[in-house]
Amino acid sequence: MKLTKTAPGDRAHIGGLSADEVAQRVAAGQVNTMPDRSGRSVGDIVRANVFTRINAILGVLFALVAATGSFINGLFGLLIVANSGIGIIQEIRAKRTLDRLAIVGQTHPKVRRDGVVAELVPGEVVLDDIIEVGAGDQIVVDGEVVESLALDVDESLLTGEADAIDKFPGDKILSGSFVVSGSGAYRATKVGADAYAAQLAAEASKFTLVSSELRSGIDQILKVITWLLIPAGILTIINQVFISQNGWRASLLGMVAALVPMVPEGLVLMTSIAFAVGVVRLGRRQCLVNELPAIEGLARVNVVCADKTGTLTENGMRLSEVRGLPDDTAADAGSGWDTSRAEQVLAALAATDRSPNASVAALAEAYPSAPDWQLSAIEPFTSAKKWSGMSFVDATGADRGNWILGAPDVLLDPDSAPARQASEIGESGLRVLLLGHTDVPVDTTPADGANVPGTLVPTALVVLEQRVRDDARATLDYFASQHVDVKVISGDNARSVGAVAQSLGLGSPDAAVDARTLPTDIDALADVVENGVIFGRVRPDQKRAMVAALQSRDDTVAMTGDGVNDVLALKDADIGVAMGSGSSAARSVAQIVLLDNKFATLPYVVGEGRRVIGNIERVSNLFLTKTVYAVLLALFVGVAGLAGKIFGFDSLSYPFQPIHVTISAWFTIGIPAFILSLAPNNERARTGFVKRVLRQAVPNGIIVGLCAFITYVIVNPGGKGVTLGGDGVDLPPAQTQAATATLICLIAVALYVLAVVARPYTWWKLLLLAVSVGAYVIIFAWPWTQTMFKLDSSNWQMNSVAFIAAAVGIVCVEIVSRVMPRIIVSDGGGHHHDLHSVAAVHDSTIKE
């Protein structure tokens, strides 16, 4: 590669814009302004939460009740306020959390102004700014290269082109691409919305709930419910208005009472709250969620592919020692290279590297004073070739050698003494680099089949220490306890990686796989990757292939990384997790960024996802059970009313008023669902959400509906006698007693459904159940609440029927709770589990 090219002319490429020039461009609006991080303004959030399908349905039903003058029966209208208000508050909190974290986690390009380089936020870049870039940096705006030092740019995320592209002065460079190797500078030619990748970047970073099985499943259920409302509503209207002849006020109240419980009014709210609270909770742990469905995705993960450096070990390294090697080219074959000379070369390499990686940074720290050498040729480090090189001359022009620093097992014959020595050192968990020199400049094209130019002469082994993270062992133990496989995938020597992993209780050096021996066939690769744990010398394209191989076996893969070599694998993984201190390219493609750089944060992220998914599944059972029994009860009453009209026996009107169905949901669904949606839950999420929920909710809903209907048929007093009261409508005492008894049966069975869903029990769940039962005892026994809610529990003959029917219903619910999970397991193979047989895992708490 050519050492350096610089665009001629234009002074701006030397020192950048002046303060006055920047001010002129800001005044002209030529600034790299981008949309809000969350993609939705506060106004958008308010509109999205107020104008919903469920609010529209409830609003129409409330208007009908208001027309009767019975405002106590319109109490369900408060759900509109609750749905909208709570949703708005939680989503705004989540938006602010995302915006705050995005400022911390965003790329900070290095911009030249007035001859000084400063890090700015992307939004402060203006047209014609000169931006310096190095390996791993993301291109933040479109531009034109003005300086190039072996600059290679990867545009695969934009164009699909797999190979990195050499960039020279005058070449175009696109935002959204990233630097693979080398360094340089470019002038901003398009900023803000004009940039090539601006729209893609804005779309990728929106606060969104799309592409989620959970959300799409709930949407499917809501569509079905909407269609069910039509026939059930028509049948109820016919029965109430034309058959029962209760008058238009009572008929409207009966119709509304039948339709309100069919609407799962809290399901969407609970889902939104659960996701939004998840964002806020993760934000407190310095975890930025770039795409909200990632919370759900991590809950489904069963394989975590983790890089060693920066994940299991600390990012920084420290020089341990430099070992001189025998000079086989010298006249005296027993003589060795002078260690001080090797150290002089290492100091020059570190001082000259404009984009040092962790290894070179450790050398720079160890050797702060460098010789006055000038660079004559350079070959940047890439993950594919595993080495970098520089050629030097001194101030007089005298040759100071062509030096290469890289992986010993790649550069050396494995049977050579230096290679064996490096391997022995690496097996102790230390990182080993080889310093060597060649007889030709490092940018000389190697001969066919060769990895390095010219003849390489080993000079010294450079030994670096890597400190294992204190929290790495506990994190790996957590994943093991959760049956999540961890694969360590690294570009370092396989045995060295194996030694580090073994110190953490994961695999061994002998079992480590050298990626250079991996097959290319996807099936064969999948076999090796599934059975292996530790992989070394992995190229970036192999990381990507390994992710694809695991996905071909129906694994849900999370990939962690921080370097430019991790970008493609992060992008292809089901969930990409980047470290906050990693390259800007890695952070830009990851769905989740750990801003605190702690691998130990990942269990909390996984736990948060499992809490969201598992709890929404639980509360979905409650809401859909209510919908099923409401539809069923309306259909039963409607059909019975039609049959009575045809065959001449007493017809049935709907037993409840709207206030009855409102209070029936308070402590069987509403309050318990809110609490359960925020509770700890650590069961791994599984596919088939809709099918699994319906298999629980439909039988339970049928049982509740049948028990309530049978109770009402038995206790129904027949006859009419509706009168107008102070708040619109009063039913005769017998009718109120029958409605009360039917409501007792319905609530009793619904409470047992709640008890089943709440399993396995903890102290707070038992308290929740006790409070729910106690609240209904007060409502049905206290004269003031009986009057307020139009109840009459004085007829114990009717109440006895209700309790007997409820007991039968409870037994049926218990049978269903035991039988259905076994059906799910038999249908779903090994991936499904009894929801209530994994108590040890289901409610294990990740302590905050």
Q: Which domains does the chain have, with CATH numbers?
A: 1-207 (2.70.150.10), 211-281+606-842 (1.20.1110.10), 315-468 (3.40.1110.10), 476-603 (3.40.50.1000)
Region of poorest pLDDT, from 85-94, 431-440, 570-579, 800-809: 85-94
Q: Mean pLDDT, to the nearest integer, of 592-596?
A: 84
The 3-class SS string of 768-792 reads HHHHHHHHHHHHHHCHHHHHHCCCC
Q: Which residue has the higher pLDDT, 60 or 723?
A: 60
Q: Which residue has the higher pLDDT, 750 or 846?
A: 750
Q: Where does the pLDDT of residue 704 fall: very low under 50, low under 70, confident under 90, or very high at 90 and above?
A: very high
Phi and psi dihedrals of 450, rounded to 5?
-85, 155
Q: Where does the pLDDT of residue 278 fall: very low under 50, low under 70, confident under 90, or very high at 90 and above?
A: confident
844 has pLDDT over 90: no
Phi and psi dihedrals of 738, rounded to 5?
-65, -40
Q: Where does the pLDDT of residue 159 fall: very low under 50, low under 70, confident under 90, or very high at 90 and above?
A: low
Alpha carbon distance 372, 333 (integer Å)? 31
- Helix spans in 69-211 (H): 78-105, 156-159, 198-204
808 has pLDDT over 90: yes
At 534 the pLDDT is 92
CB-based burial label for 414 (10 Å; 0-12, 13-18, 19+)? exposed
237 has pLDDT over 80: no
At 336 the pLDDT is 53
Region of poorest pLDDT, from 89-93, 121-125, 183-187, 828-832: 828-832
List pLDDT tens digits, range 397-430.
888 999 999 989 888 888 888 888 988 888 887 8
The 3-class SS string of 232-267 reads HHHHHHHHHHHHCCCCHHHHHHHHHHHHHHHCCCCH
Distance of CA 407 to CAs 176, 381, 410, 534, 604, Å? 31, 11, 5, 18, 36
Distance of CA 268 to CAs 90, 301, 514, 615, 823, Å? 13, 24, 49, 13, 28
Q: Mean pLDDT, to the nearest integer, of 803-818?
A: 93
At 103 the pLDDT is 60
Q: Mean pLDDT, to the nearest integer, of 10-23?
A: 73
At 784 the pLDDT is 92
At 748 the pLDDT is 95
Alpha carbon distance 502, 469 (integer Å)? 14
Q: Which residue has the higher pLDDT, 706 or 729?
A: 706
At 750 the pLDDT is 94
Region of poorest pLDDT, from 58-72, 93-107, 284-298: 93-107
Alpha carbon distance 219, 209 (integer Å)? 12
Alpha carbon distance 14, 5 (integer Å)? 13
Neighbouring C-beta atoms of residue 28, cutoff 10 Å: 10
Q: Where does the pLDDT of residue 75 fall: very low under 50, low under 70, confident under 90, or very high at 90 and above?
A: low
Closest of 231, 88, 243, 223 to residue 635, by C-alpha: 231
Q: Mean pLDDT, to the nearest integer, of 166-193?
A: 85
At 435 the pLDDT is 93
At 329 the pLDDT is 45
Region of poorest pLDDT, from 101-105, 376-380, 450-454, 802-806: 101-105
| Residue 485 CB contacts under 8 Å (≥ 6 apart), including other chains | 302, 303, 304, 479, 533
Q: Are 313 and 467 in contact (CB under 8 A)?
A: yes
Tokens 């580090």 belong to: 500
| Terminal Cα-to-Cα distance of the chain (whole angstroms) | 52
10 has pLDDT over 60: no
Residues with active-site annotation: 307
Q: Are 301 and 294 in contact (CB under 8 A)?
A: no
Q: pLDDT above 70 covers what percent of the chain? A: 80
Q: Which residue has the higher pLDDT, 386 or 717?
A: 386
At 141 the pLDDT is 86
657 has pLDDT over 60: yes
CB-based burial label for 36 (10 Å; 0-12, 13-18, 19+)? middle
Q: Mean pLDDT, to the nearest integer, of 672-682?
A: 78
Region of poorest pLDDT, from 142-156, 671-685, 825-839: 825-839
Q: Where does the pLDDT of residue 744 fall: very low under 50, low under 70, confident under 90, or very high at 90 and above?
A: very high
Q: Are 652 and 637 in contact (CB under 8 A)?
A: yes
Helix axes 733-757, 796-828, angle to 10 degrees: 30
830 has pLDDT over 70: no
At 2 the pLDDT is 45
- Give the range with max mean pLDDT: 133-137, 464-468, 548-552: 548-552
List pLDDT tens digits, range 17-48.
888 888 988 888 888 876 554 456 777 778 87
At 240 the pLDDT is 67
At 541 the pLDDT is 83
If you average pLDDT over every residue of the chain, what do you get?
79
At 626 the pLDDT is 87
Q: Mean pLDDT, to the nearest integer, of 724-744?
A: 74
Q: Which residue has the higher pLDDT, 12 or 235?
A: 235
Q: Where does the pLDDT of residue 527 fall: very low under 50, low under 70, confident under 90, or very high at 90 and above?
A: very high
Q: Mean pLDDT, to the nearest integer, of 346-374?
A: 87
Closest of 299, 762, 195, 309 to residue 575, by C-alpha: 299
At 119 the pLDDT is 87
Give every strand in the sheet of 431-438, ordered side by side. 313-324, 457-468, 431-438, 399-406, 387-394, 373-379
Q: pLDDT above 90 covers what percent of the chain? A: 17
Q: Which residue has the higher pLDDT, 17 or 65?
A: 17
What length does the chain have? Answer: 848
CA angle 644, 650, 655 (to 5 degrees): 95
Region of poorest pLDDT, from 88-97, 128-137, 668-677, 787-796: 88-97
741 has pLDDT over 80: yes
**Helix H or strand E segment including 193:** none
- Strand, helix or coil at 173? strand
Region of poorest pLDDT, from 205-209, 215-219, 514-518: 205-209
Q: Mean pLDDT, to the nearest integer, of 708-715?
A: 91
Q: Mean pLDDT, to the nearest integer, of 535-556?
A: 89
- Token pair for residue 465? 């220490």
At 843 the pLDDT is 39
Q: Are 743 and 715 in contact (CB under 8 A)?
A: no
207 has pLDDT over 50: no
648 has pLDDT over 70: no
At 651 the pLDDT is 62
Closest of 439, 441, 440 to residue 377, by C-alpha: 441
Closest of 744, 733, 809 to residue 777, by C-alpha: 744
At 526 the pLDDT is 92
